[in-house]
């Protein structure tokens, strides 16, 4: 209850955001905004959950997409199993979603317990190693995962509570609700004392430890939660593409998420979302004119890195803060006169 | 001049503005994208083509696009369909399944494409298959040879077809020719070198299965699996040389096959063993290999003399005159796809409704330069192409590069295909 009161402003904004998203999706008689936003929901959750590690905790993970892929694969595999859908019937989709999130979370506990003991480049490379391990498993376990062809034959989606995920409107609203809920969870986490503990660990882990913070446990909780949220992103993409593919577990997918964070900004909560939107629009627009997408995207990122020296929203935030401070300073001077 | 100044509620403002901006951007892009969707009687019939135009496979994707554009040009010059022209909208998916899935949606929803020709390789074609199933969108797969795409009932979709080779057809043909050759020469010990991914493993398994069926004394003594797009084949060549087989089979393709042949020739591999390479007989591959070995058995891909007809020769000339790339196996498959689409559109009176097109395409037979007796058919029961050229030729160093085409009869293929389907529980 106190949580509701404390975060009432954020909750209201989230609700307004959800209403806006639903209005866009249902109000425009065209599938494109729905498709575009659904892919943003998936990529956005991947990037934002990764930013909980990178931006808030200072843990640069190169293997975050593993959890994204795992969510998609668990969800798809469960629903593809006739035994599972037969036993649970209408409850299949929510249960599969739950198992995908919790299952990925458990996997993240194991991986996290090993990885978060390390920092910097060692942490980065160990997460990368575990991601490539999962990638290899997906590729070689052809009987279960379909190997490099991914999950074939579509993902059945039994109707639950009147929600038919085969219908594009239902699917869009379902994904939008998942997305906003996850964003809200991340908001609460990062703005709560726990979130400030994360920032403290990022800035000085030793000091945090001396203040009585169990650094390992806090890092691990953050790692597990962010992995579970990435899994929700994977579920959304699995629903959207009606399959799951090993490319989702490839390092390039993690790299793309890091790109999004760099592009959008890592010190502003919604920065990674802006990065995801910018990267997607850039990709789609460039695709229409040339097949040399990578070169153009590379040039844009170079411009952001060299020109702004930070993400777009970081730049905007810094500019805003500087302006405020200049104004305050001017007022102070005026006041002294 | 002191002004009382209260700081604005920054938090709310900033976030609201950002959300508003993001939404406005989405809405604006949605609206500007909108006109593409509006259909009118005199607008072109748009054909969306997700394919691979970057990386080592680009040459095949480019030859697909060239073939599609050339066929469309011919149709449009002849007046189009019911007064409407055809137009291809091509997108490069870089062969990534999720990218191909997204692009296919985009081609239909944003570009307003009426028809999808899925010119992806196997991996991404399965992704496109699920998207068009989901969207109830008429589609023809033009490049994926993986048998299960149309043979496995779980992948079959009422409004989706395939206009290209199928692995199992080539495996039967290859098995028959290979068995004949090894029996004549008295060869028993085989080795395989194929790319390590689904297509490579499935294709090699199917081929060897039929060699063993037709020549039971066959024995595979070693298998080596280079990675896809591997730059250096030394370890694989060494493995083959150490095992000392009598015959080698490979389903390497494109740039990988060129790299392997160039490197293996240094070791004189093809002087020591009889070799079968199903994907060798494509013009860009044959012309790219520096030291073309003679006497290698090559599967049928595309060749202007196979079949040796005036129609095929004319198609080749037309392609060469209108393209800056050489024709490949992917070229004829995509040209055939456009021909099927055009025939289906004629049957529906230019109606692009997916279900009507599907009904018109199912069981459709068209006149084609690539067919065994001048016709190609999309079979009704599994929506896949039959009656195209299957068989093996032998390479020679100079033009026309391959000779002595040993054609496999379709009656043989049908018989073994039916048994294979039963064995795999597909029927």
- Residues B15 and B305: their CA atoms lie apart, in Å, by 67
Instruction: List B299's β-bridge partners, or say none.
Output: B392
Nearest CA in chain B to A327: B5
Write the DSSP assignment of B151-171 as a string of letters: HSGGG--TTEEE-S--HHHHH
Query: Is the Cβ pair A243, B127 closer than 8 Å?
Result: yes
Confidence of residue A337 (pLDDT cuts 50, 70, 90): low
Residue range B157-182, pLDDT digits in tens: 999 999 999 989 999 999 999 999 99
Are residues B181 and B296 part of one domain?
A: yes
Burial A17-47 (b: 16+ CB within 10 A, else e): bbebbbebbeebeebbbbbbbbbbbbbbbbb
* Res. B37: pLDDT tops 50: no
* Res. B405: pLDDT tops 50: yes
* Res. A333: pLDDT tops 90: no
pLDDT of residue B389: 93
Q: How far is CA B209 from the centre of its chain?
A: 23
Confidence of residue B94 (pLDDT cuts 50, 70, 90): confident
Query: Is the Cβ pair A150, B127 closer than 8 Å?
Result: yes
Question: With contact defined as beta carbons under 8 Å apart, do B127 and A245 qualify?
Answer: yes
Are residues B295 and B228 part of one domain?
A: yes
Does residue B395 lie in a domain region?
yes
Are residues B259 and B408 part of one domain?
A: yes
Q: Which residues contact B279 (CB under 8 A, 6 or more apart)?
A: B251, B252, B253, B254, B257, B285, B298, B299, B301, B329
Average the pLDDT over each of A235-239, B22-26, B217-221 and give the range with the smallest value.
B22-26
Does residue B398 lie in a domain region?
yes
Are residues B410 and B366 part of one domain?
A: no
Shortest alpha-carbon distance between residue A216 and chain B (Å): 31
In this prediction, residues A82-108 reach a mean pLDDT of 90
pLDDT of residue B3: 44
Range with the largest mean pLDDT of A17-26, A243-252, B116-125, B378-387: B378-387
In this complex, the residue of A242, A247, A334 whose CB is nearest that of residue B131 is: A242
Confidence of residue B11 (pLDDT cuts 50, 70, 90): very low
Confidence of residue B111 (pLDDT cuts 50, 70, 90): confident
pLDDT of residue A65: 93
Does residue B119 lie in a domain region?
yes
- Residues A247 and B127: their CA atoms lie apart, in Å, by 12
- Residues A151 and A145: their CA atoms lie apart, in Å, by 6
Does residue B35 lie in a domain region?
no
pLDDT of residue B21: 54
* Res. B238: pLDDT tops 50: yes
Are residues B298 and B194 part of one domain?
A: yes
* Res. B423: pLDDT tops 70: yes
**Domains of chain A, first to last:** 2-249 (1.10.3470), 251-337 (no CATH)
pLDDT of residue A293: 75
Residue range B326-370, pLDDT digits in tens: 999 999 999 999 999 999 999 998 899 999 999 999 999 999 999
In this prediction, residues A193-219 reach a mean pLDDT of 91
In this prediction, residues B359-387 reach a mean pLDDT of 93
Question: With contact defined as beta carbons under 8 Å apart, do B130 and B104 qualify?
Answer: no
State percent of chain B over pLDDT 70.
Answer: 90
SS3 A257: helix
Identify which of A236, A218, A238, A214 has the alpha carbon closest to the alpha carbon of residue A226.
A218
Residue range B197-209, pLDDT digits in tens: 878 888 899 999 9
Does residue B51 lie in a domain region?
yes
Q: Which residues contact A311 (CB under 8 A, 6 or more apart)?
A: A261, A262, A263, A264, A265, A266, A267, A268, A271, A274, A275, A304
Shortest alpha-carbon distance between residue A36 and chain B (Å): 8
Q: How far is CA B265 from the centre of its chain?
A: 28
Are residues B216 and B67 part of one domain?
A: no
Range of the domain at B319: 45-166+309-386
* Res. A199: pLDDT tops 70: yes
In B, residues 58-97, which contact A (CB 8 Å cutoff)? 91-92, 94, 96-97
Residue range A22-45, pLDDT digits in tens: 888 888 877 778 888 998 999 999
Shortest alpha-carbon distance between residue B236 and chain A (Å): 20
* Res. A174: pLDDT tops 70: yes
**Taking CB atoms and an 8 Å cutoff, what residues of chain B touch A320?**
10, 14
Average model confidence (pLDDT) for chain B? 86
Are residues B407 and B279 part of one domain?
A: yes
Residue range A134-164, pLDDT digits in tens: 999 998 888 888 877 788 777 888 888 888 8
Confidence of residue B35 (pLDDT cuts 50, 70, 90): very low
Q: How many domains does chain B have?
A: 2
Are residues B222 and B120 part of one domain?
A: no
Nearest CA in chain A to B131: A241
Are residues B245 and B322 part of one domain?
A: no
In this complex, the residue of A30, A146, A248 whose CB is nearest that of residue B34 is: A30
pLDDT of residue A71: 95
In this complex, the residue of A166, A247, A287 whose CB is nearest that of residue B92 is: A287
Are residues B172 and B162 part of one domain?
A: no
Nearest CA in chain A to B58: A291
**Taking CB atoms and an 8 Å cutoff, what residues of chain B touch A17?**
19
In this prediction, residues A293-301 reach a mean pLDDT of 81
pLDDT of residue B24: 58
Are residues B402 and B257 part of one domain?
A: yes
Query: Is the Cβ pair A152, B12 closer than 8 Å?
Result: no
In this prediction, residues B65-80 reach a mean pLDDT of 93
Query: Is the Cβ pair B110, A32 closer than 8 Å?
Result: yes
pLDDT of residue B4: 44
Average model confidence (pLDDT) for chain A? 88
* Res. A88: pLDDT tops 90: no
In this prediction, residues B308-334 reach a mean pLDDT of 93
In B, residues 3-62, which contact A (CB 8 Å cutoff)? 3, 5, 7, 10-12, 14-16, 18-19, 22-23, 25-27, 29-31, 33-34, 37, 53-54
Shortest alpha-carbon distance between residue B57 and chain A (Å): 13
CATH number at residue B357: 3.40.50.2300
Strands B365-367 and B375-378 come out as antiparallel
Does residue B4 lie in a domain region?
no
* Res. A166: pLDDT tops 90: no
Does residue B36 lie in a domain region?
no
* Res. B36: pLDDT tops 50: no
Are residues B113 and B76 part of one domain?
A: yes
3-state secondary structure labels for all residues of B87-132: EEEEEECCCCHHHHHHHHHHHHHCCCCCEEEEECCHHHHHHHHHHH
Does residue B21 lie in a domain region?
no
- Residues B83 and B350: their CA atoms lie apart, in Å, by 9
Q: State both tokens at B331.
A: 């070229």
Shortest alpha-carbon distance between residue B310 and chain A (Å): 36
Shortest alpha-carbon distance between residue B101 and chain A (Å): 6
* Res. B28: pLDDT tops 80: no
pLDDT of residue A301: 79
Residue predicted with more confidence, A34 or B31: A34
């Amino acid at each position: 209850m106190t949580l509701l009161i404390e975060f009432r402003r954020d909750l209201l904004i989230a609700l307004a955001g959800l209403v806006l998203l639903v209005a866009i999706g249902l109000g425009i008689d065209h599938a494109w905004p729905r498709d575009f936003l659904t892919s943003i929901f998936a990529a956005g959750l991947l990037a934002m959950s990764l930013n909980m590690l990178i931006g808030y905790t200072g843990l640069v993970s190169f293997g975050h997409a593993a959890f994204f892929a795992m969510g998609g694969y668990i969800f798809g595999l469960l629903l593809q199993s006739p035994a599972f859908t037969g036993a649970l019937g209408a409850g299949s989709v929510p249960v599969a979603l739950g198992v995908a999130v919790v299952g990925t979370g458990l996997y993240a506990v194991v991986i996290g317990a090993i990885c978060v003991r390390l920092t910097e480049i060692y942490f980065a490379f160990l997460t990368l190693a575990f991601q490539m391990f999962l990638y290899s498993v997906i590729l070689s376990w052809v009987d279960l995962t379909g190997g490099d062809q991914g999950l074939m034959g579509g993902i059945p989606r039994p109707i639950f509570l009147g929600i038919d995920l085969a219908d594009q409107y239902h699917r869009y609203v379902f994904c939008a609700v998942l997305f906003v809920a996850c964003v809200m969870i991340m908001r609460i986490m990062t703005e709560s004392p726990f979130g400030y503990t994360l920032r403290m660990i990022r800035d000085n882990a030793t000091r945090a430890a001396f203040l009585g913070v169990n650094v390992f446990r806090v890092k691990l909780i953050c790692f597990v939660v962010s992995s579970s949220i990435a899994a929700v992103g994977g579920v959304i993409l699995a629903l959207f593409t009606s399959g799951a593919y090993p490319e989702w577990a490839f390092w390039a997918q993690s790299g793309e998420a890091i790109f999004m964070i760099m592009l959008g900004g890592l010190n502003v909560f919604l920065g990674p979302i802006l990065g995801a939107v910018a990267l997607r629009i850039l990709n789609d627009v460039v695709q229409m004119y040339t097949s040399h997408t990578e070169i153009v995207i590379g040039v844009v990122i170079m411009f952001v890195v060299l020109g702004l020296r930070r993400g777009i929203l970081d730049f905007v935030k810094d500019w805003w803060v500087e302006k405020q401070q200049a104004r305050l300073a001017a007022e102070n001077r005026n006041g002294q006169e | 001049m002191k002004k009382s100044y209260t700081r604005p509620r920054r938090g709310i403002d900033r976030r609201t503005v950002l959300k508003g901006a993001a939404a406005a951007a989405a809405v604006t892009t949605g609206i500007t994208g909108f006109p593409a969707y509006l259909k009118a009687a005199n607008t072109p019939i748009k054909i969306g083509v997700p394919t691979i135009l970057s990386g080592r496979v680009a040459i095949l994707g480019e030859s697909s696009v060239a073939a599609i554009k050339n066929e469309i040009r011919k149709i449009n010059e002849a007046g189009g369909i019911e007064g409407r022209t055809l137009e291809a909208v091509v997108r490069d998916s870089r062969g990534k399944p999720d990218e191909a899935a997204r692009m296919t949606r985009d081609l239909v929803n944003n570009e307003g494409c009426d028809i999808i020709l899925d010119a992806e390789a196997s991996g991404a074609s399965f992704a496109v298959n699920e998207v068009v199933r989901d969207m109830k969108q008429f589609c023809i797969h033009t490049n994926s040879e993986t048998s299960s795409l149309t043979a496995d009932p779980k992948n079959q979709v009422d409004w989706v077809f395939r206009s290209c080779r199928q692995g199992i057809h080539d495996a039967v043909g290859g098995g028959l020719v290979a068995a004949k050759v090894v029996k004549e020469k008295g060869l028993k010990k085989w080795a395989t070198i194929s790319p390590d991914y689904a297509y490579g493993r499935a294709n090699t398994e199917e081929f060897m299965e039929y060699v063993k069926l037709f020549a039971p004394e066959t024995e595979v003594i070693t298998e080596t699996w280079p990675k896809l797009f591997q730059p250096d084949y030394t370890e694989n060549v060494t493995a083959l040389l150490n095992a000392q087989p009598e015959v080698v089979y490979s389903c390497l393709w494109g740039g990988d096959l060129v790299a392997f042949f160039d490197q293996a020739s240094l070791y004189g591999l093809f002087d020591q063993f009889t070799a079968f390479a199903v994907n060798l007989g494509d013009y860009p591959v044959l012309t790219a290999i520096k030291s073309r070995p003679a006497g290698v058995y090559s599967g049928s891909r595309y060749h202007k003399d196979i079949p040796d007809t005036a129609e095929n020769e004319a198609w080749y000339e037309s392609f060469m005159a209108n393209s800056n790339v050489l024709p490949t196996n992917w070229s004829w498959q995509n040209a055939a796809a456009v021909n099927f689409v055009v025939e289906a559109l004629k049957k529906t009176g230019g109606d692009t409704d997916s279900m009507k097109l599907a009904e018109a395409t199912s069981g459709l037979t068209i006149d084609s330069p690539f067919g065994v007796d001048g016709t190609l058919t999309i079979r009704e029961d599994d929506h896949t192409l039959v009656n195209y050229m299957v068989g093996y030729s032998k390479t020679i160093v100079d033009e026309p590069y391959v000779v002595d085409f040993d054609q496999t009869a379709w009656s043989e293929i049908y018989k073994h295909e039916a048994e294979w389907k039963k064995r795999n529980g597909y029927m």
